[in-house]
């Protein structure tokens, strides 16, 4: 009977931090007001990552966007209206973040050229950059 106990303990250890985590809407409100972001979009993106471990459906990878006809530097909405680039690997080449495996997602994209706002995330952590990776702000866990 040790295995079920170990499994239960492992599950609880993973879920306990989320139980005390703030609501993603509150976290998004704080970061949106501080950094000039779309609060609703940030909240849904954070909630999707926390709840499902993946980005909301509005995000497409660079590869999928290119298959649909998009080219870097061009307007994604000409090919995929309403979509944003997200889910691709972030290399952390400058080492500004702790060692880890990260992905990235555009924030506040409204068509045209992509802006400097990105969410950089791993399974454990989330970071915001509004200056195209020059600086990062850690986003606390949320549910």
| Percentage of the residues of the chain whose pLDDT score is greater than 70 | 86
The pLDDT confidence band at residue 1, using thresholds 50, 70 and 90, is very low
Q: Which of 41, 94, 104, 138 is catalytic?
A: 104
In this predicted structure, the answer to whether residue 106 has a pLDDT above a threshold of 80 is: yes
Q: Which of 123, 132, 137, 138 is catalytic?
A: 132
69 Cβ contact partners less than 8 Å away, ≥ 6 residues apart: 79
> What's the pTM?
0.85
Architecture of domain 22-139: Roll (3.10)
Q: Is 104 a catalytic residue?
A: yes
Q: What backbone torsions phi and psi does residue 108 show, to the nearest 5 degrees? A: 60, 30
In this predicted structure, the answer to whether residue 99 has a pLDDT above a threshold of 70 is: yes
Q: Which tokens is 22 given?
A: 């703030």
Give pLDDT tens digits for 80-96.
999 999 999 999 999 99
Sheet holding 102-106, edge to edge: 59-60, 84-90, 102-106, 118-121, 126-129, 137-139
Cβ atoms of residues 53 and 14 within 8 Å? no
Q: Is 138 a catalytic residue?
A: no
């Amino acid at each position: 009977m040790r295995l079920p106990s170990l499994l239960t303990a492992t599950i609880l250890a993973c879920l306990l931090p989320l139980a005390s985590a703030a609501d993603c809407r509150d976290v998004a409100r704080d970061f949106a007001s501080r950094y000039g972001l779309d609060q609703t979009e940030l909240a849904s993106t954070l909630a999707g990552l926390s709840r499902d471990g993946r980005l909301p459906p509005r995000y497409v990878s660079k590869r999928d966007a290119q298959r649909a006809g998009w080219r870097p530097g061009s307007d994604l909405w000409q090919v995929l209206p309403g979509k944003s680039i997200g889910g691709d690997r972030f290399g952390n080449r400058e080492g500004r973040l702790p060692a880890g495996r990260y992905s990235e997602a555009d924030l506040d994209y409204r068509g045209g050229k992509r802006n400097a706002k990105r969410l950089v995330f791993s399974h454990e952590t989330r970071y915001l950059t509004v200056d195209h990776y020059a600086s990062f702000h850690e986003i606390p866990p949320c549910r």
